[in-house]
Structure 1
Amino acid sequence: MTALYKLTGTLQQYAWGGESYIPHLIGFTAQQNQPYAEWWLGAHSSSPSMIEIEAREIPLNQFLKQNPTVLGEQSRAMFGDELPYLLKILDVKQPLSIQLHPTKQQAEIGFAAENARGVDLKDPTRTYKDNNHKPEMMIALSDFWLLHGFKPKTAILHTLRERQSLSALADQLEKQDLHSFYATIMQADQTQLANWLLPILTQNQLTNLTPENPDYWVLYSQQEMAISLDKLDAGLMCFYLFNIVQVKQGEGIFQDAGIPHAYLRGQNIELMACSDNVIRGGLTPKHVDIEELLKVIDCREVMPELIPAAPQVNGLFTYTTPAKDFALANIRYDNTSKINGTAKNAIILLVMQGRLKISEKTTALELKQGESAFICADTDYQIDGVENGYAVLAKLP
């Protein structure tokens, strides 16, 4: 058995996706007026990548079931016979839902409870799709904007007091903890939402606002998502409660269990534990489970910490995060580069730019932008640069 295989990802065409970024990156022809939101590389059962074995393709999860040793001893000891991570490319044209992810224990309890109630895995009202947690990191591929965690309470009070229609909420927050206050906001009726938001939506213009201002994102989301003024979304209020974060190209951020967040605009690389557990809190046509959201949300005050960009020099660089399930490395090369590595556990490599050749004892693959490979555990490999560029490697820390 060889230790190096060509891998092909799968496409997710969610409504919020852009139309051209992913087709251009991966190298396929875009259809008109079609959203291309995510490109997945991994073995999640809902959309596994295809691995090429002797000129035929089989799903990666099936290959791993038949050949679990390719995952590596450390990986199998920690995570069983499944690939522990999922690598994605995202193109966020419209804001994504405000969401958070459960801890491993919360996921196991929630998944078992929905199974016991007989909720089908494909049921749109199902919250837990699997029994895993979903910490995640992202590296920006463009100027990127997102919401990330609750602002310090003092900053929220200041934001509310700056707006006449929200100033009474500041008085309320003075007497409450953040969790109780957030619960009140998320359970507000249309009359309350209209009192808070309509003055902001009707008295401002997007062109007069900057993205650092929460009013900008309230107007932007309402317009991009065609939210009706007589059917307002409580999620719009989160722009006044959460940190609005700008991540410059090359920088990143890590999102742990329970931290509320929402991607607002831009393209990124995302690497996460292999899970599809998303608990939503607004700005989405999908199922919003407020009861579960309030159980799982972490309302601590967060000062966002950015992951520094990889240096622009040839060689291997691994980003630092607290995750145990995954690590992301950046490998930059030109046509003189020769970089040697050892895969202790399974690795997925994706060429982001340029062209490279990867080889081990018996196999060599030449890969161009958008192409990817699966490297089996216990493999010594060499990467030779063919055309200037860089690739990313998903692996264990």
Structure 2
Amino acid sequence: MDLLDNTVKTYAWGSATALPELLGTEPTGGPQAELWMGAHTGAPSRVDRGTGPVSLADVIAADPAAELGPAAVGAFGPRLPFLLKLLAAATPLSLQVHPDRGQAEAGFADEEARGVPVDAPHRTYKDANHKPELICALTPFEGLCGFRPAADTADLLEQLGVDQLKPYADLLRARPEGDALREVFTAVLTADPDAVADTVHRAAEAAARLGADHPERATAAAFTAYAGLARHYPGDPGVIAAMLLNHVRLAPGEALYLGAGVPHAYLHGLGVEIMANSDNVLRCGLTPKHVDVPELLRIVRFEAGGPGVLRPAPAEDGSGEEVYATPIDEFRLSRHVLAAGSAARPLPAPAAQILLCTAGRIALRSADGRELVLAPGRSAYVPAGERVTMAGTGTLFRATVAL
């Protein structure tokens, strides 16, 4: 097993304090948005096996079967199929959606054939893989996830009392739900920019007023969130698009799974995020970056429903592991909450795993007696087949694959 040396990404939306507080380090004064753990080419973790720090991606590439396990290589190929992160949002991320694998393969091949550089600002597909993801809250966490039922959104828009929004509310009531969501979403993203900017301004003023004046209403938190989006992105049509989505607040330990085609945005909070090893993001708004509206409308799933908040379920083996169930195999996220004086627990070893401590102190011990002690924010990589036990007091997240 190896202690991981990880990279912090300093995106503008990141918190200046959340990651330093967890890690016990001094703030830099700038945003610290994400801590990456894994072998993604954008910022692979580093390990030291006695000859100095080396990229975990290079370690795995040198002997994929030994590092990942033959079954994992057979299922997912010769690279770590997931990326684990700590995500610390102080301001909203872009409203976005991810393609499924078939869409990603076709989109990537098309842009390659047209000679669009991978690093071009108007490039949509960075690779040929899908990017399902899961976010688990470590602090109270706020986000947007999936389309709200059309009739409920019509009610919400009508409460704002903004004349420009009335045609959208009428459409949401008059058309079949999927068609209505598509038509309104399309109309918002393709409308005249000046007209949309004025609508955003009026809707944001009304939302701020309703959120402040009627905190007892179920919609108050959503209105406050939408007004906040408009402060960060004045005039952005993504603010109106966001009003079509479920506003959700996660308590620590709760999670959201984001599958292909589901529009979403993280607004505020600290969490553990895991995803398939991809960088394919199609943005719907709340961003100065490229928005490919025609491709976006092809990818978005215009299906309404609740946000689907996940809570961990005890593993069937009675090990004390709590699993966040998802419908994909590239990643499996679980946690162990160890009380003082609890017995050491074994960690199964059929595939590579990354272990992340988020509270307390967790001691990892290998079969040959080596020991690593993880403090909050520290993580370790365990190759396939290496038997490890853990003990201590605190919380340990375990990332691996589902075989």
Q: TM-score, normalised to structure 1's length?
A: 0.91
Quote the Cα distance in structure 1 between the aligned partners of 2:336 and 2:365.
Answer: 15
Paired position in structure 2 for 1:331: 336
Gap regions ≥5 residues in structure 2: none
Gap regions ≥5 residues in structure 1: none
Quote the Cα distance in structure 2 between the aligned partners of 1:99 and 1:76.
Answer: 30
Are residue 171 (structure 1) and residue 170 (structure 2) matched? yes
SS in 2 for 1:233: coil
The Cα shift of 1:299 comes to 0.6
Paired position in structure 2 for 1:143: 140
The Cα shift of 1:314 comes to 9.2
Quote the Cα distance in structure 1 between the aligned partners of 2:155 and 2:204.
Answer: 20
Quote the Cα distance in structure 1 between the aligned partners of 2:305 and 2:363.
Answer: 42
Quote the Cα distance in structure 1 between the aligned partners of 2:79 and 2:61.
Answer: 8
Are residue 102 (structure 1) and residue 118 (structure 2) matched? no
Paired position in structure 1 for 2:14: 17
* Preserved contact between residue 200 and residue 236 of structure 2 (Cα < 8 Å): no
Corresponding residue to 1:221 among 209, 226, 229: 229
Bigger shift: residues 159-168 or 297-306: 159-168
Quote the Cα distance in structure 1 between the aligned partners of 2:202 and 2:391.
Answer: 59
Paired position in structure 2 for 1:273: 276
Alignment of 1:169-248 (within 5 A): 169-173=168-172, 174-175=174-175, 176-203=179-206, 204-205=208-209, 207-208=212-213, 210=215, 212-223=220-231, 225=232, 227-228=233-234, 232-248=235-251
Paired position in structure 2 for 1:86: 83
The Cα shift of 1:300 comes to 0.6
Quote the Cα distance in structure 1 between the aligned partners of 2:145 and 2:39.
Answer: 27
Quote the Cα distance in structure 2 between the aligned partners of 1:65 and 1:209.
Answer: 57
Paired position in structure 2 for 1:28: 25
Q: Which amino acid aligns with 2:109?
A: A
Quote the Cα distance in structure 2 between the aligned partners of 1:233 and 1:303.
Answer: 25
The Cα shift of 1:215 comes to 3.0
Quote the Cα distance in structure 1 between the aligned partners of 2:366 and 2:100.
Answer: 38
Q: TM-score, normalised to structure 2's length?
A: 0.90
The Cα shift of 1:55 comes to 4.9
Q: Could you give the per-residue CA deviations for residues 253-294 of structure 1, whole angstroms, max 9, x where no partner exists?
A: 111000000011111111111111111000012222212111
Q: How many residues align?
A: 385
Are residue 285 (structure 1) and residue 288 (structure 2) matched? yes
Quote the Cα distance in structure 2 between the aligned partners of 1:194 and 1:315.
Answer: 52
Quote the Cα distance in structure 2 between the aligned partners of 1:317 and 1:356.
Answer: 16
Q: Which amino acid aligns with 1:186?
A: L
Quote the Cα distance in structure 2 between the aligned partners of 1:92 and 1:306.
Answer: 19
RMSD: 2.0
Q: Percent identity?
A: 35
Q: Which amino acid aligns with 1:331?
A: H
Quote the Cα distance in structure 1 between the aligned partners of 2:311 and 2:362.
Answer: 25
Corresponding residue to 2:346 among 340, 347, 353: 340
* Preserved contact between residue 312 and residue 323 of structure 2 (Cα < 8 Å): no
* Preserved contact between residue 95 and residue 242 of structure 2 (Cα < 8 Å): no
Q: Could you give the per-residue CA deviations for residues 174-201 of structure 1, whole angstroms, max 9, x where no partner exists?
A: 2453212211111111243145333233
Q: Could you give the per-residue CA deviations for residues 25-70 of structure 1, whole angstroms, max 9, x where no partner exists?
A: 23332212x0001111011111111122215111111111002121
Paired position in structure 1 for 2:390: 383
Quote the Cα distance in structure 2 between the aligned partners of 1:59 and 1:360.
Answer: 22
Q: Which amino acid aligns with 2:123?
A: R
Quote the Cα distance in structure 1 between the aligned partners of 2:91 and 2:20.
Answer: 18
* Preserved contact between residue 356 and residue 368 of structure 1 (Cα < 8 Å): yes
Corresponding residue to 2:49 among 46, 50, 53: 53
Quote the Cα distance in structure 2 between the aligned partners of 1:115 and 1:277.
Answer: 14
